[in-house]
Amino acid sequence: MLRPRLIPCLLLRDGRLVKTVRFRDPSYVGDPTNTIRIFDEMEVDELLFLDIGAGHEGRTIDWKLLEGIATECFMPFGYGGGVRTIEDMGRLYTLGAEKVVLNTAAYDNPALVSRAAERFGSQSVVVSIDVKTDVGRPYVYVDGGRRRTAADPLDFAKRMAEAGAGELLITSIDRDGTFRGYDLALVERVASAVSIPVICCGGADTLEGARAGIRAGASGAAVGSMVVYQGKNRAVLINYPAPKELRDAFGAGSR
């Protein structure tokens, strides 16, 4: 069994790192290069970068920025945002990305997931599923949370797993940046319905909250505000639990 992972999820916009609340009002938190160096010094195992503007704004991937990230990043990293084609994915892997995250493209073109899995291997394909409750029920949202689809998160998760995704990133839009903890019911429903790893995202507050996400069935917990702010007053401070804290929280298998 894979040991639990605590994964900093870093949001990019116009070449800068930002943090959102419920996918809105991005606030500047730092320079990507400096932040990567800090996380490297803190012995972070894995990073996830999501360009929150590339998809819905119709922009192409900022390849120059990604080249810089790949040069500085000495740990495995995944990237999502504006990825639309197999060629985009191939170039990202060539740059050094271990995983590529598909969101809107996976919904609009599920065949892309299957083609990517066949060509690059399922383990390198992550499908991001953004979920928001509307009129009392959860829906899958795409285009950076701007477009509500008719899809139920559980059904869509199953379809993406069947299409060949190797991992699912499940984000609660309602909890993003709120420090309210993960939507554990959503995490449990999805994780119990698929046989591939699930990463919970949206609302991380403490290590205990991350552990709750793992207990709900996730194999990894993505954290944003928790590792870029000091407390709920949102003073910018890049941080990450010490190895001993991780071992105490997740067990002896954690670094």
CA distance 247 to 202: 23
Cβ neighbours of residue 252 closer than 8 Å, sequence gap 6 or more: none
Q: Cα–Cα distances in Å, from 52 out to 94, 144, 165? A: 22, 6, 21
The Cα 172–Cα 183 span in angstroms is: 7
Place of tokens 């917990």: 221
Closest CA to 170 of 209, 141, 147: 141
Among 88, 130, 176, 183, the active-site one is 130
Q: How does 186-199 read in b/e, with b if 16+ C-beta sit within 10 Å?
A: bbbbbbeebebbbb
> Is 40 assigned a catalytic role?
no
- Give the catalytic positions in this structure: 130
